[in-house]
Structure formats: C-alpha cells, structure tokens
Amino acid sequence: MTSSAVSPPVSANRTAESHDGKRPLLSLRGVTKRFPLVLANDHIDLDIYAGEIHALLGENGAGKSTLMKILYGFYRADAGSLALEGRPVQIHSPADARKLGLGMLFQDFSLIPALSVAENIALFLQDVGPVVDLRQVERRIEAFAARYRLQVRANVKVSELSLGEQQKVEILKLLLSGARILILDEPTRVLAPHEVTALLEVLVGLRSDGYAIILITHKIKEVLACADRITILRGGRVAGAMLRAEADEKKLIACMFGREMPDVTRRPRSVTAETPHPVLELRAVSTRAEGAATSLKEINLAIYPGEIVGVAGISGNGQRELGDLVLGMISCAQGEKFLFGKPAGRLSIRQARREGVAFIPENPLAMASVPFMTVLENIALTRPWRYARRGGLTLDWAAIRRDALAGLEKMAYQLPLYAPARTLSGGNLQRMVIVRELGLGPRLILASYVTRGLDVQSAVAAQQALLDARGAGAGVLLISEDLEELFALSDRLIVLYEGRIVGTFRPEETDAYQVGYLMTGAGGAHDSRR
C-alpha cells in the first residue's frame, strides 16, 4: 500500500476550495420523494461545501433521513438532480455513492458483531486485493485512528465494543474507504455526554482536514456547537437555511416546529373524581436499557382517572420504554410501579391487561398484530379470558364479533373482519388496534402515536375515542410527536429527554416553543427538572 492511501485525502479539496471559496462540493436540486402515505421530500435544495460541517436539523419525520438515504443510493428520488463538484451525477446504489466519495454513518450501526474491527472495515475497502491482509488493514486503521483520536483495538470482535467505540469504528470505516463527504445520521443519539464532546472534537478535526460533513440531528446544542451551515427541514420541505453566524436557538426552534402555535379549543375535564387513586403511579423508576434503547431515569409520574397526560419528546428519548414499562414488558431496575393503587412491579402483561390496561404501541404491524391472522382473530388476541369457553377449549366467536362490531360502530370505522391483518393499510391496521384496545372501556390507556398514518377523519375519531375514554374515567398516557395533538388533548404535558422527565406543564401555561426547547435538550436536561 502506498503512503498516500494512508493519509487523508486533503489536498484535492483544498485546491478546489482555494480556487473558489464558495463552490459547493455537492449540490442537490429539487429532490423529491413520495412514499405511499407521505411526501417525504418536497423539492429540497442543499449545498454541501468541503471543510464545513453542515447541520441538517428537523423533527422526526421531517424528511432528513429520507433525503440522506436518497443521497446514499438506498432510495431513488422521484425527481431532482445531484451534482458533485459541478458535474451532474447519478446515484443508484450505495456502491455508486461510495465511488463518488460519500460515506454514511447510520443511526443503527452497520457493523457485523461477529466480525473483528479490521474485518468490518476491510469489508468496505475498495482497494483490498482478493486475498485480505488484515495486518495491513490494521496498520491503516492505526494511522487514521492516531490522527483523529479514534483509537480502537483493531483485532477484537465488534461485539466486544461499547456503542461509543463502535461509532469510532464506523467513522474509521468511512475515512479508510476514501469518503470525502461524511453523512452522520444522528450520531450522538447513542452516546454518553462525554462521548458526545469527543465526537464533536473528532468532527472539528475532520473539518480542518477538508472533509465535508453532513450532521443530521435534532439537537440544537450540538448544531450550535459545531456547525458552519444549517438547513432546517420541516414536513419534507426546507424550512430554513442559514450560516452559523446568523443562527440562534430561538430562530432554529421556530424554524423546526413552525411559528404557528397550536390553536385548539380545549375541553374542560369531564371527570373530577373525589379522592381519586392514580390509575398509574411511577415512583422514582429507572430502567436498564440494552443496546440502542434508552434507559428511563428516575421517572415520577401519576395519572389520575379522567385525565390525559401527554408525553412530548423526539422519538428515541424513552417514550417506547415508558409504554413498555407500564405494560410490564420491561421491569423497573429501581423504583416502584403501581397500577390502580396496587404495587404492580411483578404483574404480568396478562394480569395488567386483565386489570384494564390498554396498549396502542408505536408500531402496530410489528407490535400489535399478527400479520397472517384475520382482523377478528387479532381483535380476540389480547382478551382470551373474555372469549374462552369450556375452559379454553373453544372461543366464542360470536362474542368476539359482537365486540368488534360494537367497537367499529363506536369509532365509525369500517374494517373487513375476515381479511388477514397484513393486507390492511397502515391506517386500517391502526384502526383495528384502536378498536381492540379502546372498544371495551379500559381504565388505563397507553397510546403511542395513535394518529400516525391516519387520515384526518380517522385521526379525529381516534382522538375522540381517547377523549370519550377519559370522559368515562380512564387515565390516558398519550405519547405523540405531534405537538398540536398533545396540546389539544392533554390535561398535563410532560417532556421526555434522554429518558428523563425534563418538564411538566399544563398545556395552557406553556407553548410549543418552551416544549420544543426542552425536547431538543436545548435547556440542559438536568437544570430544568421540576
């Protein structure tokens, strides 16, 4: 191997830049991508410069990841064009992208745990011969590692590394495979605070060597700490583009969440129970997370009958774990959980459901339905005790059908009862889950992203169903990424950030700005606990 392959590819970029300081290395024009339910990217323009960190900021679902997947050849854009150093290029596959010098650091690492660090990196090297000399790969790794403070042990299996170390391997992989444009998709999501600082230092080092870096994130602090240029996406469109010098926290948040404040007339609470027991109480509960999951930290939360508690937060900050914890899919590492006034730390999911806990999970296809069973069978699934006859030898299908039809009528939904769940659209699947979970008067409802994928009418019906359940005295934990929905439905609002409750509000006492501020960690999670 020649020494030039070991040293970073700096000089070419520098010359291009010195020639004309403002010529973009990579530009996207009018990139558009439509998925069946959503227009994920709507005529997006983006210019990336060598020797700069370009932050791509936006909420979940703003279209950041889709855009980057188009850039990296995973998706084909429906419209739009790409140019590298002024020349139009086509990217049909990740292989094309890599040939053009693009490298992507995925949110979920693309490392193979069973292979060693050197093997994982060799997999992505274009210039290894038919026979792989791992020693030589290790030497190349060490050269880059020393330069950019990315030290890792090259001969151990990836399964033995921490998440922070795995990320270093990912970055090394990109550098060694000759990437000049690094796309980092939420790189700090899995990192501990000190690792975040270290990563940002690595990025600054790379920038000064002429790499172009695209940093996808929703954390404003990180953007302000290291970005040179910022583009904000909202709802698949470019909502703003500015230089670091022009940006401040307030401006970015306004861009991210939109200026318009939620404007919904709220209904007064219909039930004001005297001396009510909370239907759910969590006392200083912490959980232990595995892998990329978030652990909950010292959660104190009580939900009373007839109340909707909204959970705001950017997904991945502990919402899923909160739902799983309440249902009993994960247990408390510390602290205590009470359901309906009774200790429930060891309650099985079946017992919890029997007590009247309803669960609408984040991903209905994976978590709330068996794709090959019919709608009716899926509806029967979570309440076997209600329908079992003759000691469980038979099921009372007529009763299941009655319940299903009653639920459908209540929500004014229509569903084919005998179609396999996998044939339903995302919206219909969600309707099926709503009918099942809300149809029978639950006492505690865990609702995650209830209206995701629903058309307006169905969404309103689902929201109405939640309000009706509240009216009937149920407590509701409503997890959503739609601030408008949270403001419209919640009696109280909590904000989750990195597994902690960083704010508790009455919706009428706060606004989207304040909530958004806490959601992005801009306020500093530890300071604003209350």
Partner 1 sequence: MTLLAILGIISSAIYSGTSLLYATLGEVVGERAGIVNLGLEGVMLVSAAVGVAVTSRTGNPYLGILAALLAGVLMNLLFGYLVITRKANQLASGLATMFLGFGVSALIGKDVVGVRIAALPRLLLPGLEGLPRVYSSLFRFDILVFLAVPVAILVWWLLFRTRWGLGVRAVGENADIAYASGRNPLWLRYQALLVAGLLSGLAAAHLTIAYTMTWTEYMTGGRGFIAVALVIFSKWHPLRAIAGALIFSAAVALQLALQAAGVQVSPFLLDTLPYVLTILALIAWGGTRRHSAPASLGRVYLGTE
Q: Which positions touch partner 1 (CB under 8 A)? A: 74-76, 93-95, 98, 110-115, 119, 122-124, 126, 128-132
At a CB cut-off of 8 Å and minimum separation 6, what does 520 contact?
218, 219, 220, 221, 253, 256, 314
Dihedral of alpha carbons 358, 364, 369, 373, sign: positive
Residue closer to partner 1, measured from CB, 103 or 439: 103
Q: How many CB atoms lie within 10 A of CB 420?
A: 16
Given a contact cutoff of 8 angstroms between Cβ atoms, the answer to whether 331 and 345 are in contact is yes
To the nearest whole angstrom, how small is the minimum distance from the Cβ of residue 420 to partner 1?
Answer: 18
Residue closer to partner 1, measured from CB, 168 or 337: 168
Please report where in the chains the tokens 């600054």 appear, as a residue: 204
To the nearest whole angstrom, how small is the minimum distance from the Cβ of residue 114 to partner 1?
Answer: 5
Given a contact cutoff of 8 angstroms between Cβ atoms, the answer to whether 110 and 170 are in contact is yes
CA angle, 6 then 8 then 11, to 5° = 125
Kindly state the tokens that stand for 504: 């508790």
Residue closer to partner 1, measured from CB, 113 or 392: 113
Kindly state the tokens that stand for 493: 């609002």
Kindly state the tokens that stand for 159: 């399964």
- Secondary structure element (H or E) that encloses residue 70, with its range: helix 64-71
Please report where in the chains the tokens 């392959």 appear, as a residue: 5
Phi, psi torsion values for 524, nearest 5 degrees: 80, 105
To the nearest whole angstrom, how small is the minimum distance from the Cβ of residue 454 to partner 1?
Answer: 23
To the nearest whole angstrom, how small is the minimum distance from the Cβ of residue 137 to partner 1?
Answer: 10
Residue closer to partner 1, measured from CB, 72 or 505: 72
To the nearest whole angstrom, how small is the minimum distance from the Cβ of residue 104 to partner 1?
Answer: 8
Kindly state the tokens that stand for 59: 């909420």
Strands (E), 7-94: 26-35, 38-48, 53-57, 79-84, 87-89
Residue closer to partner 1, measured from CB, 70 or 311: 70
Phi, psi torsion values for 326, nearest 5 degrees: -65, -40
To the nearest whole angstrom, how small is the minimum distance from the Cβ of residue 502 to partner 1?
Answer: 35
To the nearest whole angstrom, how small is the minimum distance from the Cβ of residue 54 to partner 1?
Answer: 22
Residue closer to partner 1, measured from CB, 77 or 232: 77
Residue closer to partner 1, measured from CB, 81 or 159: 159
Given a contact cutoff of 8 angstroms between Cβ atoms, the answer to whether 435 and 411 are in contact is yes
To the nearest whole angstrom, how small is the minimum distance from the Cβ of residue 147 to partner 1?
Answer: 24
Residue closer to partner 1, measured from CB, 123 or 395: 123
Given a contact cutoff of 8 angstroms between Cβ atoms, the answer to whether 426 and 365 are in contact is yes
To the nearest whole angstrom, how small is the minimum distance from the Cβ of residue 129 to partner 1?
Answer: 7
Residue closer to partner 1, measured from CB, 111 or 461: 111
